[in-house]
């Protein structure tokens, strides 16, 4: 029988451009069976590979084995979420979503690599998608495509789908041992994907002992969760949190069990009928879940207990199993003390999504700032000019993100205080020229740069020379961090380790600069200090 390594040899000479696909092309053996991908411009690509299986609310287990060769050339299903029925055209344009097709059997992943079955140990970069813990998928945005990053850095890129919302984070643990895994099933999926990578990625040319997990927004929150999960320890060696440092506490089961009970009430089910939840349609379950979240949120407010501004939502739970500690607990920080961290955010994040202040005058900007900061409004303006010397438009004073940035600093400070591994901080300030510059450095703007996907994301970035130049620098930093735990790269100023004392922050813009605590005064005024 011809080995798989030999079977791939004939394609090497013809796989440098275009698509190469066929019966004996790009075949890799996994634990569950062989998979067949394709080669595009020299990159082996595999899509929709099952890494696990799971019944509703149950822990994931190894996928069923398959006979022969499984075709893995198209993206697999994404987790069911609220259907998208309308979009805001002006902001749908830069994002250019791919909503995919939904199926609860969504535990699949995608792989990009330069070579297979060659025994070479390439760094592995595992992408965890955004959308909070409720929505999104590994294929949602064109920036998530791993081909260019793989090609540039000779790394193996993996992206993952997993259970979200009520399917991934409904706490039914009060209803017997059968449901003990329900609270954080969605995180258990991610851990199962990392276990699959540990067992299988070598055949795809990857190093199972050099795995970096990285994610943006909700994906950054997932990275934070995995850094706090004992069962994930040893499955990754580096972490990158991009605009996702907002997970500062996991939900307590005193609340999440009430949500489970409220769900049964909404559906007129007795506790003895809990198994019925496994059979009702997702649409019915999802709608009832929203009512349950609102009911418990309203009840907590009536009891005088704290509830986040938007009310309760689905997310990570302090279940005593997957997440036994709060992030600030010494036992939690000890889990990841040896994991290097790269963390940061964008200058504007969600501010551009509120177009009301887009064309304000300077007088209007000052009036808005006075309402927020009172007699410190002038000091705030001065602090903006100090942090961002290129500030020109009146709106530039009012649409700076003041939420994600301080949370990134908080996460970095906690990491430095509790471990020995290095921490590196960045701030992405590059302003998109698209559509009269209305998108600025908004949430997700940096993704095209980190994945070196300017061409795929021209609607977001404009596709100009400056975007390509910056993407080269940023993607090089991400690749170097994945390889060595140090993001220093050609074309960037020297990037020292972050400490609370030096506040060292790499500013990513047309001119990249290393600044120490560049917006310290701004953040102090914004926080009322």
User: Where in the sequence numbering do the catalytic residues fall?
Assistant: 217, 349, 443
**113, β-bridge pairs:** 44
Q: Using H for helix, E for strand and C for coil, what is the string for 1-63?
A: CCCHHHHHHHHCCCCCCCEECCCCCCEEEECCEEEECEEECCEEEEEEEECCECCCCCCCECC
Q: Cα–chain-centroid distance for residue 308? A: 21
CB 517 within 8 A of CB 405: no
CA gap 244, 405 in Å, rounded: 10
Radius of gyration of the chain (CA): 23
Other Cβ atoms within 10 Å of 157 Cβ, number: 29
Note whether 46 and 160 are within 8 A (CB). Answer: no
Tokens representing 410?
């908080």
Q: Which two tokens stand for residue 293?
A: 């979240």
Longest dimension (CA), the chain: 80
Strand order in the sheet with 33-36: 27-30, 33-36, 69-71
The answer to whether the CB of 131 falls within 8 A of the CB of 224 is: no
């Amino acid at each position: 029988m011809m080995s798989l390594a030999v079977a791939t040899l004939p394609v090497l000479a013809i796989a440098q451009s275009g698509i190469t696909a066929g019966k004996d092309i790009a075949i890799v053996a996994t634990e569950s069976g062989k998979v067949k991908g394709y080669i595009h411009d020299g990159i082996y690509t595999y899509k929709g590979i099952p890494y696990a299986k799971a019944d509703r609310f149950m822990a994931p287990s190894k996928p069923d084995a398959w006979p022969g060769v499984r075709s893995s050339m198209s993206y697999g299903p994404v987790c069911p979420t609220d259907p998208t029925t309308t979009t805001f055209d002006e902001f749908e344009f830069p994002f250019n979503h791919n909503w995919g097709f939904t199926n609860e059997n969504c535990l699949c992943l995608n792989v990009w690599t330069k070579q297979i079955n060659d025994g070479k140990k390439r760094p592995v970069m595992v992408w965890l998608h955004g959308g909070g813990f409720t929505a999104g998928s590994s294929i949602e945005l064109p920036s998530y495509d791993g081909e260019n990053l793989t090609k540039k850095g000779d790394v193996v890129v993996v992206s993952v789908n997993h259970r979200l919302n009520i399917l991934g984070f409904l706490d039914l643990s009060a209803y017997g041992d059968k449901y003990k895994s329900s609270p954080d099933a969605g995180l258990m999926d991610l851990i199962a994907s990392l276990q699959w990578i540990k067992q299988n990625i070598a055949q795809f040319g990857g190093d199972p002992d050099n795995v970096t997990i990285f994610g943006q927004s909700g994906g950054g929150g997932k990275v934070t969760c995995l850094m706090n999960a004992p069962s994930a320890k040893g499955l990754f060696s580096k972490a990158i949190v991009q605009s996702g440092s907002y997970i500062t506490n996991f939900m307590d089961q005193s609340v999440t069990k009430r949500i489970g009970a409220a769900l049964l009430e909404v559906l007129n089910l007795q506790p003895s009928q809990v198994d019925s939840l496994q059979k009702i349609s997702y649409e019915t379950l999802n709608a009832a879940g929203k009512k349950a979240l609102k009911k418990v949120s309203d009840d907590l407010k009536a009891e005088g207990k704290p509830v986040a501004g938007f009310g309760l939502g689905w997310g990570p739970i302090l279940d005593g199993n997957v997440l036994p500690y709060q992030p600030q607990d010494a036992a939690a920080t000890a889990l990841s003390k040896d994991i290097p961290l790269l963390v940061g955010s964008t200058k504007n994040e969600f501010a551009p999504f509120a177009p009301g202040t887009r064309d304000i005058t300077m007088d209007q900007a000052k009036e808005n700032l006075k309402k927020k900061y009172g007699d410190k409004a002038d000091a705030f303006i001065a602090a903006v000019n100090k942090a961002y010397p290129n500030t020109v438009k009146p709106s530039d004073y009012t649409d700076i993100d003041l939420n994600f940035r301080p949370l990134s600093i908080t996460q970095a400070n906690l990491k430095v205080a509790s471990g020995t591994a290095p921490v590196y901080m960045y701030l992405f300030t590059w302003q998109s020229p698209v559509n009269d510059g209305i998108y600025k450095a908004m949430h997700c703007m940096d993704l095209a740069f980190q994945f070196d996907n300017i061409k795929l994301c021209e609607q977001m970035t404009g596709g100009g020379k400056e975007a390509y130049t910056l993407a080269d620098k940023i993607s090089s930093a991400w690749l170097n961090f994945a390889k060595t735990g140090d993001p220093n790269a050609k074309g960037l100023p020297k990037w020292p380790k972050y400490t609370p004392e030096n506040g060292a922050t790499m500013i990513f813009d047309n001119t990249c600069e290393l600044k120490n605590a560049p917006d310290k005064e701004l953040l102090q005024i914004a926080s009322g200090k």
